[in-house]
Structure 1
Amino acid sequence: MRFVLASASPARLSVLRSAGIEPLVRVSGVDEEAVTRAVPEAGPAELVTALATAKADSVVAEVAAEVPEAVVVGCDSMLLMSDGEIVGKPGTTEAAAERWTHNSGTEGQLITGHSIVRLQRGEVTARTEGSLGTTVRFGTPTAAELEAYLATGEPLHVAGGFTLEGFGGWFIEGVDGDPSSVLGISLPLTRKLLTEVGVSVVDLWKSDAE
């Protein structure tokens, strides 16, 4: 049984490795904007879960042919800002600057969707999904600090325009909830979802460490 991460996120990979799992990484390449357009009435939790499911499903056929005994895990994160807007990766320096200007000194909720597909003998035998929200308390960087942070390029490519484990951590006052979820994959929720498809996370520790 192998743990397959359907994500290119280095933060998710780092979290899993630190927690005893060396996953196979298979990048989904899902068109996130297309998935978002397909569920226009979805709430924040539904949206991130739909994105996570799309990512997991997109690599299932490839994984089934390569590793017939596996759990495929897809994740997606977005930030629900204090004004109720749900946002993903800023993509541009201008968008990241706007996010930080808005979020400074406020709280937002980082919502991460999770989707797990179990494969046995190359066939899908079970699937489950879920989401988790964690409150993030933003500090107030000075204009010079924000300019320097934007210049690193880091906030352009991460959900909500910030990180907890990187340069952005200097400007996060705290989190209320599961820190691993803010990093992109909730360990406790993933453990519970694995149980729902009949897999114990401790067995993945053993198999992936061999």
Structure 2
Amino acid sequence: MLPDTMLPDKVQFQGKNPGPLPLILASQSPSRRKLLLTAGIRPTISVSHVDENAVVAQTAADRMIDPVDLPARDRVQVLARAKAQAVASRYSDIHKAVLSTEGNREVYRPYGIDPTSQRSSHSQTGSTSQKDFRSFQPLQDFLRIHPGLSAYPEVYGAGPLVIGSDSLFEIGGTIYGKPHTAQIARDRLQAMRGSTGILWTGHCLIDPYSGRKAEAVSRAEVHFADYSNKEIDAYIATGEPLEVAGCFTLEGIGAAFIDSIHGSPSGVIGLSLPLVRSLASQLGVSWTDLWNMAVSRPAGSSEEDHSQSKGKNLSRDYLSGQDRRAAVDVPSDNITQPGDGWIPCVCGHKHWGTNGAAGVLLIRTDPVTGQATHIVMQHRAAWSAEGGTWAIPGGAVSEGENSVEGALREAWEEAGIAANDISIVGAYDEDHGPWNYTTVFAVEKEGHQVQPYVGDDESIEITWVPLDDVNKLNLLSAFRSDWPHFRELIRKMADKRAAAGHAVNRQSASGQAAA
């Protein structure tokens, strides 16, 4: 269940509008993402990981019917709702975790950067000679000043919004899913030739901060041409029809085999944009409030610099400055997010994350002593910067997020670390001025047990590592530099929590690590 309200008592904007309202797409469908991009909206992608067969089976059981008898119209709607609710609940959990944070935020400015001017505070020439500039503040104070996604409901009355969708093609009363094999695709395309089918697309739009939702189903009649068997074989050879509902795509090679459409063309592709606009209006949100595709450039850069940088692969990453495509090409289906991209820095490197980057350092403590014993570590994919090294799960902060929200989202996406299983106990922010990386320290909640796993293509392995073994790993260079300080921070945080009676109740950490 989503909460009735999740707004903090006070949100401080410091005179700044938080920007366009983020739209979170509960799908990694390239077609749906491209539709939104064309409409001026770059969505944040959050895969729902919903078990679709289980959802359909439960819905059918509730109605006391066989799953095969669940109408296509109902099927796409319950699946769209399940996907949207799963992602909305995740964002709800992130918000709760942010509101209950404890501890301090330590800020380290190795180049003495004044964050208001982005110039060195110890040099009139902007020299990047290193000095140790550190400051501390309660983490809650930082979050009140930088509310992140919490700012949007006060400005827009909703948001960020989560959209879930599902599509099915029906012809002659038979539902066609993805064929997966060439023979099934051939049989279906032959049956569809010269016929008319219906493309059903379910939509569910949710505001995670209030629990309000709006939903509807689009229906489009698709009339197919009288294409030849030779054309069918050639189409199948492209691979396009094998992994799409109905064996065809309106936006791809198969478009030439469609005579006409009666209904929303974008609904056939995967999202009926007019319908989504109507659903947003039902939640009190203007469609134009979602437009976030305006061309922008880094502060201080010229129009000429911006024009010349378009299309270039600015391939330096994180604190290391290494080529992100170090070993092999980035997977073709790697998900890109608002906030992904390279940013030049005063340190001479280009860092990943136009809004900065963040990650979660999750700590496991001994159930008896309360002392820290393990942390979750990520074995980085070969294609990433310093591929094959170890660090913590993290990545670029998305549009509208503060660094803590970004860290929690990345930890879920990459390592399956759910925000409702952990408590935030502090943060460390390395601030270079135009770019920063925030390490969020967290512990497992009492009675909760995190079993991390590889959640996307950015990891080889995600696992608990004993503190004494961290230095034995081939660490990412930036993490290796930070680890001695982090180890001391972990000790102090654990001591403080143990003294306050916060020792976590769980089974032996060593036994869990072995499992």
Equivalent position SS for 1:119 = coil
TM-score with structure 2 length normalisation? 0.38
1:21-100 aligned within 5 A = 21-38=41-58, 39=60, 40=67, 41-64=69-92, 65=94, 67-68=149-150, 69-81=159-171, 83-100=172-189
Shift of 1:44: 1.7
Q: Which residue of 2 aligns with 1:156?
A: 242
**Distance in 1 (alpha carbons) for counterparts of 2:23 and 2:293:** 8
1:173 aligns with 2:259: yes
Contact map agreement 2:88 2:207 (CA 8 A) in 1: no
Greater RCO (Cα-Cα under 8 Å, separation 6 or more): 1
Q: What one-letter code is carried by the residue in structure 1 that aligns with 2:30?
A: P
Q: What one-letter code is carried by the residue in structure 1 that aligns with 2:200?
A: I
| Deviations 1:41-89 (CA, angstroms, capped at 9, x unpaired) | 53221110011111112212333327454110011110110x2112222
Q: What one-letter code is carried by the residue in structure 2 that aligns with 1:114?
A: H
Shift of 1:140: 2.4
Q: What one-letter code is carried by the residue in structure 1 that aligns with 2:176?
A: V
Shift of 1:208: 5.7
Contact map agreement 2:89 2:208 (CA 8 A) in 1: no
1:138 aligns with 2:228: no
Q: Which residue of 2 aligns with 1:101?
A: 190
Contact map agreement 1:3 1:204 (CA 8 A) in 2: yes
Higher helix share: 1
1:199 aligns with 2:285: yes
Q: Which residue of 2 aligns with 1:117?
A: 206
Contact map agreement 1:30 1:55 (CA 8 A) in 2: yes
**Distance in 2 (alpha carbons) for counterparts of 1:31 and 1:103:** 29
Structure 1 residue ranges without an equivalent (≥5): none
| Deviations 1:151-184 (CA, angstroms, capped at 9, x unpaired) | 1111111111100111111211111111110110
Contact map agreement 2:179 2:247 (CA 8 A) in 1: yes
**Distance in 1 (alpha carbons) for counterparts of 2:237 and 2:50:** 28
Shift of 1:116: 0.9
1:17 to 21, 34, 37: 37
Q: Which residue of 2 aligns with 1:7?
A: 27
**Distance in 1 (alpha carbons) for counterparts of 2:184 and 2:57:** 20
Q: What one-letter code is carried by the residue in structure 2 that aligns with 1:84?
A: G
Q: Which residue of 1 aligns with 2:269?
A: 183
Q: What one-letter code is carried by the residue in structure 2 that aligns with 1:204?
A: L
Bigger Cα displacement from structure 2, 21-30 vs 55-64: 55-64
Q: What one-letter code is carried by the residue in structure 1 that aligns with 2:251?
A: E
Identity %: 41
Q: What one-letter code is carried by the residue in structure 1 that aligns with 2:280?
A: L
For the aligned residues, what is the CA RMSD?
1.7
Q: What one-letter code is carried by the residue in structure 2 that aligns with 1:95?
A: I
Contact map agreement 1:2 1:208 (CA 8 A) in 2: no
Q: What one-letter code is carried by the residue in structure 2 that aligns with 1:145?
A: E
Tell me which structure has the larger Cα radius of gyration. Answer: 2
| Deviations 1:3-49 (CA, angstroms, capped at 9, x unpaired) | 00111111111111111111101112222222222233532211100
Equivalent position SS for 2:207 = strand
TM-score with structure 1 length normalisation? 0.91
Contact map agreement 2:81 2:164 (CA 8 A) in 1: yes
Shift of 1:141: 2.1
Equivalent position SS for 2:203 = strand
Contact map agreement 2:180 2:242 (CA 8 A) in 1: yes
Q: What one-letter code is carried by the residue in structure 2 that aligns with 1:73?
A: I
**Distance in 2 (alpha carbons) for counterparts of 1:37 and 1:87:** 18
What is the aligned residue count? 205
| Deviations 1:84-141 (CA, angstroms, capped at 9, x unpaired) | 1122222222221121111110000101000111123xxx430121101001011122
Q: What one-letter code is carried by the residue in structure 2 that aligns with 1:77?
A: S
Structure 2 residue ranges without an equivalent (≥5): 1-20, 61-66, 96-148, 151-158, 297-515
